[in-house]
Structure 1
């Protein structure tokens, strides 16, 4: 999960809608009514600012610093594309692609740095609010992914990541904070990015934090590749269900999401 070369590198396919030399032309009038064509990023890969404004260390922040051999060229995303400070420029780049939607993930560690035991980070809320407002001002529909493989490192330590049942309440709390803060402007939500790969790489192959696996799938210092992926998947599914139930019960009708 090394940092992307640029904020829009992961969505270069979107350039297919533009003719050569057409940078900055608005092609969205050519879309059928209701058609959304977009770009996507993940918070860890683009934001940088890994300790700015009261954000806590995420599992990936710690992993890339303590397991350099697991990451190509020993890189980390402490700075990445510096999207946290350059988001307005990045919104302009997305606008120049001619797309009308943008999916980004929220850093759990930036919103509730210590989970339910700590406070909501107002600076993190303010950053994503500015980003959402900037997108809407450009007529770009924001799509929010609530978890893209990352969580506060403290929660990974406290619960063993997705292995501990307590992580379900943590995820429900975190997602509720997001629904309250951004739901007046965000209609489209994704709970987990590729949960099948999350479980596979974290608890079967051990290639992502918390780096748990066992032979013949991998050679980690700890883990059980035959059992733990199912435990983690169970908790991910129940966390998803809790977030969806909360949204449908308390937010969907009033916020048309």
Structure 2
């Protein structure tokens, strides 16, 4: 039976790998690296640096081209499901083509596999594909430090105040936050800095990009004072590096 490990590697700093992640990397035969194009080559380099440090000298890397995706579809959910399905098929083909029947493979997952990441859904699809072929695929999940933790640590701010709830959402869904759930919002995947449309000028924001990497940037303050600075900084950094991963905490005063 093959084993597939989903290893959370945190926000990019090898020093933030958990001991469980280090052990799992050392125990794995083949690493499946998803190629998302030249613009995200630095993300692949960070993963390879981790493998150089922690994987066995006889480990192998298999690069899997990421399928194309419509970034502005008429039906967002349907397009994401189609994209994930094709990605799972490609990963499974790479797995069966490179890993012996009793071997192990791993996907190094940025952050944590459970938080706004598709790896668990991909693994479920791969398990179903294996079962249809009369094979078994065992899946192990190793949690990682989240970008939420990396942001609050860098900004030295707790994610919530005493007794208050936390709402985690995306930029696409930010305007749909229920009334009363907006005291402490963690917002991910917001390419358009949607807080400029939804927040009040005196709302507080802690925004971080490239957390845990050499490019880390954190900007904090009232939205009315730093909102446009964040948007301009995000646009500049994305153009400079070709990619960006950012997150922010939005809080009512």
The alignment's TM-score, normalised by the length of structure 1, stands at 0.32
Q: Which has the higher contact order (CA 8 A, sep 6+)?
A: 2
Which is richer in helix? 1
Structure with more of its chain in strand, by fraction: 2
